[in-house]
Amino acid sequence: MISSESSSGLTSSAGHRDVYLRVHGLSKSFGSFLALKNISLDVYAGEFVCFLGPSGCGKTTLLRAIAGLEMQTEGRIEQGGRDISHLRPSQRDFGIVFQSYALFPNLTIEQNVGYGLQSVERDREKIRLRVKELLELVGLPDQGKKYPGQLSGGQQQRIALARALAISPGLLLLDEPLSALDAKVRGHLRHEVKQLQRRLAVTTIMVTHDQEEALSMADRVVVMNHGVIEQIGTPTEIYREPASLFVADFVGSMNKFEVTANAPESVSFGAVNLVCHKHGLAAGSKAILTLRPEDVIPSELGQGDGRNQFKALVRDMEFLGSHWRAWLTSEAFGSQDLDAHFSINAVRRLSITQGVMLTVELPAERLHVFTPEGRRG
Ligand code: ATP
């Protein structure tokens, strides 16, 4: 029972992914308020999935329903092929880490980590060895005799992780585990948690409102809004191919322009036509066109064919350390600024400074069209 490997029982084989957790048609009401609306989702064995969304979107409620800490109003949850929908938390197979460290302050670190083991293992020596193994696993082998109050926030969260992993749960649930930590510790721990999860191959779900955290840690991200799933995809899919205007806007920054569809692969923006991703909107329909700031290409660097190229004035610039942010204006864009991110090399090579005129290309494959309601056009 007490080994460091996941007890999920299901492993992924090449080319085939086993579903470990299945959520089907899940809804949750609090009185007349519907917090989750018909959520369906498969999580594969060994996968790291993040629930990402703004405050109040329902991500914590969904995690708590999976743990049995909140009972769904409708729907079904299966874990490892077993219907767990109506089981108490103690009958389910998961370890959980909360935002606040939630360690017992009056118990030593060793006692905290070993706490859950006592109900499944009587042999004190086996418990001692397992606690030692777990403390090594989270990189704190010498802290066992201390009390939680003597550790930093980051160290306490590592202990909370060790405690959650103690009984080798099939499922690891992380509820904003890093958000109480300062930025530097958070960045470091983000990497450590991900490495550990990969090593143990434990199926993991993490709730976060931090997009960078979700994109950097997850195998797949579930973007939620108002109790529904807006998109499920790999971090690259979510960032590069947002399924809705909400996702495009919530993850990363985005230029948005009001345009009119005029052909299957083109829209008109003010007086100009822009070639874009193929869309299904009828000619004359109003639409929203999006483009990431880093996809604005100073044209000398582009491999473009002259399409979607404009002269623009660099109205202002801001140095952000890893790159420059520039605000561009052009007669083509009307009164709206175009937000562009240029690499330091590009700025140096093309002598881009405030006040110069620049030719920029807006690559057609990076221009996405949405309906005014925010759905894919
Ligand atoms: P946050 O990041 O702020 O925690 P969240 O996406 O995790 O947000 P939830 O905590 O899941 O959001 O809450 C979803 C909605 O359900 C919110 O509007 C919240 O006010 C409501 N809600 C959650 N728990 C309860 C409860 N016990 N009683 C009534 N309403 C609740």
State the chain's mean pLDDT as an integer.
90
State residue 67's pLDDT score.
97
Model pLDDT for residues 302-318, shown as the tens digit of each residue = 455 678 988 899 999 99
Q: Determine which residue's CA is closest to atom 11 belonging to ligand 1.
A: 58
State residue 23's pLDDT score.
98
pLDDT bucket at 14, cuts 50 / 70 / 90: very low
Per-residue pLDDT averaged across 167-193, rounded? 89
Percentage of the chain surpassing pLDDT 70? 94
Whether residue 223 contacts residue 250, with contact meaning beta carbons closer than 8 Å, is answered with yes
pLDDT bucket at 79, cuts 50 / 70 / 90: very high
Model pLDDT for residues 209-246, shown as the tens digit of each residue = 999 999 999 999 999 999 999 999 999 999 999 999 99
State residue 105's pLDDT score.
93
- The ligand 1 atom at the shortest distance from the C-alpha of residue 62 is 11
b/e per residue 237-246 (b: at least 16 CB within 10 A): ebbeebbbbb
What tokens were used for 369? 């069209």
* Ligand 1 geometric centre to CA of 57 (Å): 7
* Ligand 1 geometric centre to CA of 344 (Å): 42
Whether residue 377 contacts residue 290, with contact meaning beta carbons closer than 8 Å, is answered with no
* Ligand 1 geometric centre to CA of 251 (Å): 21
Pocket test residue of 50, 55, 61, 72 for ligand 1, highest count of atoms within 8 A of CB: 61
Whether residue 163 contacts residue 116, with contact meaning beta carbons closer than 8 Å, is answered with yes
* Ligand 1 geometric centre to CA of 36 (Å): 10
SS3 state of residue 106: coil
* Ligand 1 geometric centre to CA of 100 (Å): 17
Bridge-based pairing of strands 48-52 and 220-225 is parallel
- The ligand 1 atom at the shortest distance from the C-alpha of residue 70 is 27
* Ligand 1 geometric centre to CA of 222 (Å): 17
* 4, pLDDT greater than 50: no
Cα 37 to Cα 256: distance, rounded to the nearest angstrom: 29
Q: 4-248 and 253-370 share one CATH topology?
A: no
Q: Determine which residue's CA is closest to atom 18 belonging to ligand 1.
A: 56
Residues enclosing ligand 1, CB less than 6 A? 30, 33, 35, 53, 55-61, 209
Q: What is the DSSP letter of 16?
A: B
- The ligand 1 atom at the shortest distance from the C-alpha of residue 209 is 2
Q: Which CATH number fits domain 253-370: 3.40.50.620, 3.40.228.10, 2.40.50.100, 3.30.2130.10?
A: 2.40.50.100
Model pLDDT for residues 81-136, shown as the tens digit of each residue = 999 999 999 999 999 999 886 899 999 999 999 998 888 877 888 899 999 999 99
CATH superfamily of 4-248: P-loop containing nucleotide triphosphate hydrolases (3.40.50.300)
Based on the number of CB atoms within 10 Å of its own CB, is 90 exposed (0-12), middle (13-18) or buried (19 or more)? exposed
Based on the number of CB atoms within 10 Å of its own CB, is 145 exposed (0-12), middle (13-18) or buried (19 or more)? exposed
- The ligand 1 atom at the shortest distance from the C-alpha of residue 207 is 7
Q: Determine which residue's CA is closest to atom 31 belonging to ligand 1.
A: 30
- The residue ranges of every structural domain in the chain are 4-248, 253-370
**Which of 81, 61, 82 has the alpha carbon at shortest distance from 71?**
61
State residue 230's pLDDT score.
97
DSSP string, 257-321: EEEEEEETTEEEETTEEEE-S---PPTT-EEEEEE-GGG-EEGGG----STTEEEEEEEEEEE-S
What tokens were used for 40? 């369906």
SS3 state of residue 240: helix
* Ligand 1 geometric centre to CA of 58 (Å): 6
Based on the number of CB atoms within 10 Å of its own CB, is 124 exposed (0-12), middle (13-18) or buried (19 or more)? exposed
